[in-house]
């Protein structure tokens, strides 16, 4: 069972970034998380630009990796996030 307490307690991650990470973590692991930034924005009720900014910050922090193609974004969490939620 995943425990998100450590992830949510991180002070250097914004609330929107935490929601994005939780959305990625809750996605079934046997499937590829390939929501577009627009789909993420719609599911969280925020603007696409805000999601793009937060995704860029999460990539810079080394918390996610993204492969962006036309109309497709494949996102994966890194070992750092896996360690936070599996402790």
The domain that holds 44 is classified in CATH as: 1.10.10.10
Confidence band, pLDDT 50/70/90 cuts, at residue 2: low
Query: Is the pLDDT at 35 greater than 80, yes or no?
Result: yes
Give bridge partners of residue 12 from the DSSP assignment. none
Cα–Cα distance for residue pair 80/63, rounded to 1 Å: 6
**Backbone phi and psi for residue 68, each to the nearest 5 degrees, phi listed first:** -110, 125
Do 23 and 55 form a contact (C-beta atoms < 8 A)?
A: no
Do 56 and 63 form a contact (C-beta atoms < 8 A)?
A: no
Number of domains within the chain: 1
- Residue range of the domain that includes 80: 5-86
Write down the pTM of the prediction. 0.89
Q: What confidence tens digit (pLDDT) does each residue in 6-31 have?
A: 889 999 999 999 999 999 999 888 88
Cα–Cα distance for residue pair 86/35, rounded to 1 Å: 24
């Amino acid at each position: 069972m995943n425990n998100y307490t450590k992830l949510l307690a991180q002070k250097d991650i914004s609330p929107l970034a935490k929601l994005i990470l939780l959305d990625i973590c809750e996605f079934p692991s046997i499937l590829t998380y390939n929501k577009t930034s627009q789909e993420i924005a719609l599911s969280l009720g925020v603007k696409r630009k805000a999601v793009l900014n937060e995704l860029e910050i999460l990539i810079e922090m080394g918390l996610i990796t993204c492969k962006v193609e036309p109309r497709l974004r494949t996102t994966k969490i890194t070992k750092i996030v896996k360690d936070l939620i599996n402790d």
